[in-house]
Structure 1
């Protein structure tokens, strides 16, 4: 498990700036869209458990895998090329709109080749490690 300050993450100005939403219901998606609009985030990729085998780099390139296999049933937000100040504001707004905190990640050099299901499983593993105060090695 590795942690870095949000403000220390590089933003690639040439890459697609968007938010991946995974496994949210219609009401929650409506709130997320509202928050995105407030923050000037116009690109949102809405994914379900049927897209879980899609690789992150393929999602960035809008090439989704719509397989039969269902992924992990865990709400997640993955940010690609979004400024840290907007992500912080996004998280604060989730609290204001009373949305339970989902798993949150950034697209990195390490996870860009992972499937969405792999990323979500690592995030879930990290959340559980934080709760039990154990370490996790990926």
Structure 2
């Protein structure tokens, strides 16, 4: 709800698409690096998918279809999902709003960064820190 409610309100008020896009970036970044938890938040996947639900539902359906296909094939699921998560911003760039598409792309990059670099470095073992 922390993504759906603010984005719903912005869409209801017919706010500029670029403000909606920057709001999506702020919501994703705020989930990954929350100030009140000293920067130790989540990975941002669900927040990103909730933003897609509000801003690019067709792209979210495409992502779900790819997720289903990846789950029944021998392909490496996590790698397919990382690629599939990048398709909805491209779809938004192509068909609707370039500003929102770019902002969703930045949100996608933030999720990839959260998965590439540990959000909780103190939880790593000594070998993983090296």
TM-score, normalization by structure 1 = 0.28
| Larger strand share, 1 or 2 | 1
| Larger helix share, 1 or 2 | 2
